[in-house]
């Protein structure tokens, strides 16, 4: 079964741990979009791994991993990640393949990203300033450089010089410092030499694996409401984080996909700016005090709120979510009454959908249905039937309100704390 795994909220849903579990029944893991601005965290025993570009399947033996064409790659960051994994005795050679048509994130992308965000002042969107948006912008403008360029030194140097000349003019106009061509060329060609053995045309490779009946798991970064088309624009990322992005980001057609699994937290979080109707400061303070809800890549504190079923219903429609994985259930273990947002009130109307206008969404007020808390630790539970009755009722409500079948529950960060229903 070929599976697309998507975040059904604003990202940071715990996709890394779910991917790690689903890897048991997959042969290949494909990363289909995003850049190194988001991380997947996987804990195995006492070891903690934060993956930025390399698919989570790399942590399991005999699994093949692909960084596909929809991803934007900072070669220096990827080399650093690969070398960091190798130092921890994770095998990379023969297990990782990189699409030759994946676009590059270059230093001018990061500097332009930073300057644009600084100039917005109070109107900032909360970008990580890692150059992801400008890199996708160059891709759309047909001026981007790709992995296929990087592994051809003469071609890369020629194209890089032209792009640095143009972008230095942009940087100067924005008040930033221009880049030194020789310095950038040297460091990126060195990274290209290290990455060259991994770079292939991944589309025929993937289709060959499909012919061999290999099972493929497609993973992305961020979540549905950070999608460029369907998210809370402009407070979004620069790629398609929804299930459609797995198709265009890999070259595997829709009729080869067998199911879509959505990942949600038992509550709601988001990083950066933008509306979050069910945001609750008391819940945020409690989770932060527990050492939870800080960005895996950026360490920024996440904004936290109660579970928003209005959002997850929309995510189910957009992605075609068949099955649901619920993470961080244990984060609610000490709460007596747990609200779920079942609708919005906005401008005198009751809404059961997420408005497309971010300004309108910011005016929405949550309408809650309260559920009784279980007030007992769940971190040691390994079966759904062993969860407290109140927790079972809460989880069934999340699935019913979302419109998907409950499939996986996670009650902690460890690999062994995630189980199937």
pLDDT in tens, the chain (421 residues): 899 999 999 998 999 889 888 988 899 999 999 999 876 777 777 788 888 999 988 998 889 999 999 999 999 999 999 999 999 999 999 999 999 999 999 999 999 988 887 777 666 666 777 899 999 999 999 999 999 999 999 999 999 999 999 999 999 998 888 999 999 999 999 999 999 999 999 999 999 999 999 999 999 889 999 999 999 999 999 999 999 999 999 999 999 999 999 999 999 999 888 999 999 999 999 999 887 887 666 677 899 999 999 999 999 999 999 999 999 999 999 999 999 999 999 999 999 999 999 999 999 999 999 999 999 999 999 999 999 999 999 999 999 999 999 999 999 988 889 999 9
Structure tokens at 91: 């095998």
pLDDT for res 270? 92
Cα–Cα dist 225/244, whole Å: 14
Cα–Cα dist 242/219, whole Å: 10
* C-beta of residue 374 within 8 angstroms of C-beta of residue 391: yes
pLDDT for res 223? 95
Dihedral sign, Cα of residue 270, residue 298, residue 226, residue 252: negative
- Measuring CA to CA, how many Å separate 85 from each of 54, 58, 77, 90? 10, 9, 12, 5
pTM: 0.92
* C-beta of residue 48 within 8 angstroms of C-beta of residue 230: no
* C-beta of residue 53 within 8 angstroms of C-beta of residue 93: no
Cα–Cα dist 159/146, whole Å: 10
- Helix (H) or strand (E) segment spanning residue 117: helix 107-120
Q: Is residue 12 annotated as a catalytic residue, yes or no?
A: yes
E-state strands within 267-400: 268-270, 303-305, 307-308, 323-327, 337-346, 349-351, 365-372
Site of tokens 């075609």: 320
Structure tokens at 280: 């609750």
Q: Is residue 288 annotated as a catalytic residue, yes or no?
A: no
Could you say which of 20, 27, 36, 40 is catalytic?
Answer: 40
Site of tokens 């699935």: 399
Q: Pseudo-torsion of CA 389, 353, 8, 413, nearest 10°?
A: -40
Q: Pseudo-torsion of CA 58, 61, 63, 65, nearest 10°?
A: 20
pLDDT for res 290? 84
pLDDT for res 319? 98
Could you say which of 12, 74, 308, 330 is catalytic?
Answer: 12
CB atoms within 10 A of CB 367: 17
pLDDT for res 132? 93
| Cβ-proximal residues to 341 (8 Å cutoff; 6+ apart), any chain | 277, 278, 305, 306, 307, 308, 309, 310, 366, 367, 368
pLDDT for res 45? 75
């Amino acid at each position: 079964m070929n599976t697309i795994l998507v975040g059904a909220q604003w990202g940071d849903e715990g996709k890394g741990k779910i991917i790690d579990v689903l890897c048991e029944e997959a042969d290949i893991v494909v990363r289909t979009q995003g850049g190194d601005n988001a991380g997947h965290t996987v804990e195995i025993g006492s070891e903690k791994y934060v993956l930025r570009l390399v698919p989570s399947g790399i942590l399991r033996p005999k699994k093949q991993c692909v960084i596909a064409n929809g991803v934007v790659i900072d070669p220096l960051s990827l080399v650093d990640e690969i070398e960091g994994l190798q130092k921890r005795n994770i095998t990379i050679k023969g297990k990782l393949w990189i699409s030759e048509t994946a676009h590059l994130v270059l230093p001018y992308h990061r500097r332009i990203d930073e300057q644009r965000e600084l100039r917005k002042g109070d109107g900032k969107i909360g970008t990580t300033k890692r150059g992801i948006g400008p890199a996708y912008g160059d891709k759309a403008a047909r001026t981007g450089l790709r992995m296929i360029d990087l592994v051809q030194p003469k071609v890369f140097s020629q194209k890089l010089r032209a792009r640095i000349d143009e972008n230095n003019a942009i940087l100067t106009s924005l008040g930033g410092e221009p880049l030194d061509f020789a310095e950038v060329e040297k460091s990126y060609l060195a990274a290209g030499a290290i990455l060259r053995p991994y770079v292939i045309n991944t589309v025929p490779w993937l289709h060959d694996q499909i012919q061999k009946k290999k099972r493929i798991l497609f993973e992305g970064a961020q979540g549905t409401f950070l999608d460029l088309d369907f998210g809370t624009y402009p407070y979004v990322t620069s790629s398609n984080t929804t299930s459609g992005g797995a198709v265009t980001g890999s070259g595997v057609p829709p009729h080869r996909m067998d199911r879509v699994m959505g990942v949600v937290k038992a509550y709601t979080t988001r990083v950066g700016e933008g509306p979050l109707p069910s945001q609750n400061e008391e819940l945020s303070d409690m989770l932060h005090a527990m050492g939870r809800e800080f960005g895996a890549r950026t360490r920024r504190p996440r904004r936290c709120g109660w579970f928003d079923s209005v959002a997850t219903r929309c995510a189910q429609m957009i992605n075609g979510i068949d099955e649901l994985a619920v993470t961080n259930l244990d984060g609610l273990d000490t709460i007596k009454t747990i609200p779920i947002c079942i609708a919005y009130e906005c401008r005198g109307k009751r809404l059961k959908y997420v408005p497309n206008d971010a300004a309108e969404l910011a005016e929405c007020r949550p309408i809650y249905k309260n559920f009784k808390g279980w007030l007992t630790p769940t971190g040691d539970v390994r079966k759904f039937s062993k969860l407290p009755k109140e927790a079972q009722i809460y989880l069934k409500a999340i699935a019913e309100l979302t419109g998907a079948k409950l499939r996986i529950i996670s009650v902690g960060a460890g690999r062994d704390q995630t189980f199937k229903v």
